[in-house]
Structure 1
Amino acid sequence: MDRLGSGIQADRLSPEQYAVNFSDLHPRLDKHEALVAADRCYFCYDAPCMTACPTAIDIPLFIRQISTGNPLGAAKTIFDQNILGGMCARVCPTETLCEQACVRNTAEDRPVEIGKLQRYSTDIAMETNRQFYQRAASTGRRVAVVGAGPAGLACAHRLSMHGHSVIVFDAREKVGGLNEYGIATYKATENFAQREVDYVTAIGGIEIRNGQVLGRDFTLADLTAEFDAVFLGIGLAGVNGLGIEGEELNGVEDAVQFIAALRQAKDKSEVPVGRRVVVLGGGMTAIDAAIQAKLLGAEEVTICYRRGKESMNASGYEQDLAASNGVIIRHWLAPKRILGKDGAVAGIELGYTKAENGKLVGTGETGIIAADQVMKAIGQTFATSGLGSLRIEAGRVFTDAEGRTSVEGIWAGGDCVGRGEDLTVTAVAQGRDAAESINRQLAAGAQPAAAVA
């Protein structure tokens, strides 16, 4: 237990090392690399990769367009289904979605690099500011979108395409939600999240109002009275607590907040990190926090997960990425208490666990890991305040397949609903589909809210 109480410090590395550590994880393919990668595609008629994509992008088509020297055409094919295709190309777990389904993904071969090809084409379109969509003639209808994350932005863009005016309300100072605050810095470099927001909102007809919190600055009743429809894309605002002794010590923090602070830091050297860091959890947040702690200069980073490797929500690729960055992953360990010294973290006691008759139980054995920083990444919670009479099931907003909630005129999508995985690409699909549902209802002749008033 040496170095207990050594503290959390900033500026552990040289400026050059920070620049290297937080550079682009997968730099964009050049033209030759893209053509070679595209040439590996079989252009399957019943492409399983397309079925595996939550936004149903016509993957064989856009890859064929790249192979024939038409990256802008490929970008339009992608944006037709996923207007946030640039970010999804960077953060989608393609290894468990489209690339896992690729027919070339065999023991003897590797899948087509679909994610990299998607980035290649969408980056070209965004860098040249090639816009593919124009607003339809104004319908005179106004829609409120609460939450400017992937679901909200996708919904707003599709509604604007149909000629509706959209007001987006967001609690934070910057637009983007998870894409701006929750993505590992090395996955989306050079302020990409904000550049994508600018690209998406360039269609016009979308007004952003920052610093607006549902339940504090406005209510659902206010929105339904003023607007013709409402879409909720409010994400998950809460973080699960450990409920153990020592959780209040200095050096214990939420991994989500750590990632957000790092994302917003203009100078990575100003972000403090411990020498010995323990991250609790088994999902993508745990992996992202652990890797970035190591990149900030932590000497030892350990992920502790209460179940086995096969139960971790983080993909095998992400687990391997963590290991390649020097992160230690230990399984079958559950936190018992956090040890302190002079009010700060000094270590953590964990209990060994096992699966018994399908249930997780403790073995009675415990161990201690020295640490001066403990990060909690054991899941986020949904804050239901301000939702009035909306039906909540399993801690999320209940919706049907079109995103309609239990209250007439209100739709929802993204992490706040109980459908699909908590992924950026899933949120985009739900926002897009809800917008189409809203448009159908408005086109059916529902009276504008102003006329009703």
Structure 2
Amino acid sequence: MVMSMEKPQGYSQQQLALDQMFKDINPALSARQAGIESSRCYYCYDAPCITACPSKINIPSFIASIHADDLTGAAKTIYQENIMGGSCARVCPTEILCEQACVRNKEQEQAPVKIGLLQRHATDNAVFVGHPFKREAATGKTVAVVGAGPAGLSCAHRLAMLGNDVEIFEAASKAGGLNEYGIAKYKLTDNFAQKEVDFILSIGGITLHTETALGKDISLEQLKDQFDAVFLALGLQDVQSLMLVNEVHPQVINAVDFIRELRQASDLNQLDIPPESAVVIGAGNTAIDMACQLKRLGTEEVTLVYRRGEEQMSATKHEQQIAKNHQVRIKTWAKPEKINLDHDGVLRSMTFRKTYSEDGQLKDSDQTFDIACSAVFKAVGQKFAFPEKEQLIPTLSNGKITTVGQQVTSLDGVFAGGDCTAEGQDLTVEAVQQGKLAALAIHQHINSVEV
């Protein structure tokens, strides 16, 4: 899955320079490096890395295959549990999952096996004749999947593998969900998200409908009538508000919208000129991605502001270090209070109130300060909103779809997974696992068989 690096005639030096700024942040291992790294694995019988992996990949097994120079076998082991093992190898926070659990991380060397990079080495270099899995005998059953993000694609693939016919309905113009539209450009390079979508669909039995939105082009009631089961993988559509005056302003931008535009740009020079100075509000991976990409685009001063301390940031220590490596200034214990415009309506600065913690509660101090900026990027979280025009709505809890057991909702024959549910930490690998588990449950539900 390697794209040619040749550039078309007339490709400007300026664009080439920008493209270089968005090269892969974690270069792949060479064959020699992978061989050495795979030899470090103890191949634990009761491997803690498997327990720590949300998709339950047999990590020692695939690493042993790499050590034996069987990359195709290693990749198949990965895909048996996680059909999006290629993208997860790039975006999964292995430092808090499998690699944190690695026994070598607990020894004096404090250096876990580089599981994520080994997984990428296997999936990037495997050679399959056709798809790695064959579909089982046709069941005659059909399933509708709403949303073509990681959860939806994972569910559709497993259902198709089990012999069911699947139709995916995606509101956007491309499949891929977060991988296509929401991940930093330097994490998933060379159109990898679409290559992975093509790989998944190549199993057969899956029909993709893009630009088809629930509540607009189709309804849940129609899908329930026309299909044997429905899987909802709607993702998160809305952005949280700061609830400040002047928030609706051209220089106050939703980070997810900017990242989406950046990822879809065929020529980075066609993007708006980056601001000279910017404030990014948030504490998660989206905030980190936004801040680092601004620096790569040429913004001189980028300040990431969070109302609590670094220990409370949802972005991992690894992601925080990436921001620091990009010379992003991280300002903690500061709460957004005011967006300041000049007499001409131009954004000039933001006012923040210093905060502190008392008995575990966030408190406001009586001190404020300003940060000069020419743009503000909001990365304070996304929220789920069920389509307003839908008449048939599953039970919601805290604004997300309630599921029990294996992704079952309150509506008969309707299952859900991914970010639209309250399960997990909104990680790609968790969405893939939920999609897989839902597929197994759906298959059993509509075929009345044991899986």
TM bin, normalised by shorter chain, reads over 0.9
Return the match for 2:425 from 421, 426, 433. 421
Matches within 5 A, 1:88-103: 88-103=88-103
Instruction: Find the partner of 1:383 among 382, 385, 398.
Output: 385
SS in 1 for 2:338: strand
Equivalents in 1 of 2:359, 2:253: separation in Å?
Answer: 34
Residue type matched to 1:397 in 2? I
**Maintained 8 Å contact 1:249/1:340:** no
Cα separation, 1, equivalents of 2:364 and 2:37: 48
**SS state of the match for residue 105, structure 2?**
coil
Partner Cα separation in structure 2 for residue 425 and residue 389 of structure 1 = 26
The offset of 1:387, in angstroms, is 6.6
In structure 1, which of residues 366, 379, 384 is the aligned counterpart of residue 368 of structure 2? 366
**Cα offset for 1:219?**
1.1
Contact 1:162 1:439 in 2 (8 A): yes
* 1:88-237 alignment, distance < 5 Å: 88-106=88-106, 108-125=109-126, 131-237=131-237
Paired letter, 1:56 = K
Distance 1:203 1:321 in 2: 37
Q: Is the 8 A contact 2:15 2:267 kept in 1?
A: no
> Residue 419 of structure 1: CA displacement?
1.0
TM-score calculated relative to the size of structure 1:
0.93
Q: Do the aligned partners of residues 130 and 302 (structure 1) sit closer, same or farther apart at CA in structure 2, a change above 3 Å counting? A: farther
Structure 1 residue aligned with 2:359? 357
Q: How far apart are the structure 2 equivalents of 1:174 and 1:438?
A: 25
d(CA) in 2 for partners of 1:215, 1:110:
50
Q: Aligned pair in 2 of structure 1 residues 129, 93: CA closer, same or farther (>3 Å)? A: farther
Judge conservation of contact 1:335–1:348 (CA < 8 Å) in 2: yes
User: Could you tell me which residue of structure 2 aligns to residue 260 of structure 1?
Assistant: 260
Corresponding residue number in structure 1 for 2:312: 311
8 Å CA contact 2:252–2:377 kept in 1: the answer is yes
Residue aligning to 1:347: 349
Letter in 1 for 2:427: L
1:65 matched to which residue of 2? 65
SS at 1:40's partner residue? coil
Q: Secondary structure at the match of 2:94?
A: coil
Q: CA deviation at 1:129?
A: 6.2
Residue 23 of structure 1 aligns with which residue?
Answer: 23
What pairs with 1:248-327 in structure 2 (closer than 5 Å)? 248-272=248-272, 273-327=274-328
2-side partners of 1:431 and 1:15: how far apart? 38
Letter of the aligned partner of 2:336 in structure 1? P
CA separation of 1:136 and 1:269: change in aligned 2, threshold 3 A: same
Match of 1:47 in 2: 47
Equivalent residues of 2:88, 2:429 under 8 A apart: yes
Q: Distance in 2 between matches of 1:391 and 1:129?
A: 44
- Does the 8 Å contact 1:334/1:351 carry over to 2? yes
Partner residue, 2:409? 405
Separation in 2, partners of 1:401, 1:91: 27
Counterpart Cα distance in 1 of 2:130 and 2:167 = 24
Q: Deviation string for 1:411-434 (max 9, x for gaps)?
A: 000000111110000000000000
- Matching residue's letter, 2:80: D
Separation in structure 2 between the aligned mates of residue 248 and residue 234 of structure 1, nearest angstrom: 26
Counterpart-to-counterpart distance in 2, 1:16 and 1:170: 33
- What is the aligned length? 432
Residue matched to 2:79: 79
Give the residue type in structure 2 aligned to 1:376.
K
> Normalising by structure 2, what TM-score?
0.94
Q: CA deviation at 1:14?
A: 3.3
Verify the 8 A CA contact 1:303 1:328 in the aligned structure 2.
yes
Deviating runs (4+, > 4 A) in structure 1?
127-130
Q: 2:349·2:374 contact (CA, 8 Å) conserved in 1? A: yes
Q: Is the 8 A contact 2:72 2:128 kept in 1?
A: no
Equivalents in 2 of 1:213, 1:130: separation in Å?
A: 32
Q: 2:444 aligns with which of 428, 440, 444?
A: 440
Q: Secondary structure at the match of 2:96?
A: coil
**Does the 8 Å contact 1:184/1:292 carry over to 2?**
yes
Query: Any conservation in 1 of the 2:236–2:419 contact (CA below 8 Å)?
Result: yes
Q: Give, in whole Å, the separation in 2 of the partners of 1:134 and 1:188.
A: 28
Residue type matched to 1:306 in 2?
R
CA distance in structure 1 between the partners assigned to 2:30 and 2:236 by the alignment? 37
Contact 2:166–2:206 (CA under 8 A) maintained in structure 1: yes
Unaligned runs of 5+ in 2: 1-12
CA distance in 2, matches of 1:122, 1:94: 16
Consecutive unaligned residues in structure 1, runs of 5 or more: 1-12, 446-453
Whether contact under 8 Å (1:250, 1:343) holds in the other structure is no
Following the alignment from structure 2 to structure 1, what is the Cα–Cα distance between the partners of residues 168 and 361?
A: 44
Larger displacement relative to structure 2 (255-264 or 378-387): 378-387
Report how far residue 142 of structure 1 moved: 0.7
Task: Give yes or no for contact 1:278–1:374 (8 Å, CA) kept in 2.
Answer: yes
How far has the Cα of 1:326 moved from its partner? 1.0
1:312 Cα shift?
0.2
Q: CA deviation at 1:217?
A: 1.0
Q: Is the partner of 2:308 in helix, strand or coil?
A: coil
Q: Distance in 2 between matches of 1:343 and 1:123?
A: 50
- 1:75·1:122 contact (CA, 8 Å) conserved in 2? yes
The structural deviation recorded for 1:205 is 0.7
Q: Displacement, 1:105?
A: 0.9
Give, in whole Å, the separation in 1 of the partners of 2:73 and 2:128: 13
3-state DSSP of counterpart to 1:256: helix
Whole-Å Cα distance in 2 between the matches of residues 16 and 414 of structure 1? 36
Cα drift, residue 108 of structure 1: 2.9
Q: Distance in 2 between matches of 1:187 and 1:155?
A: 24
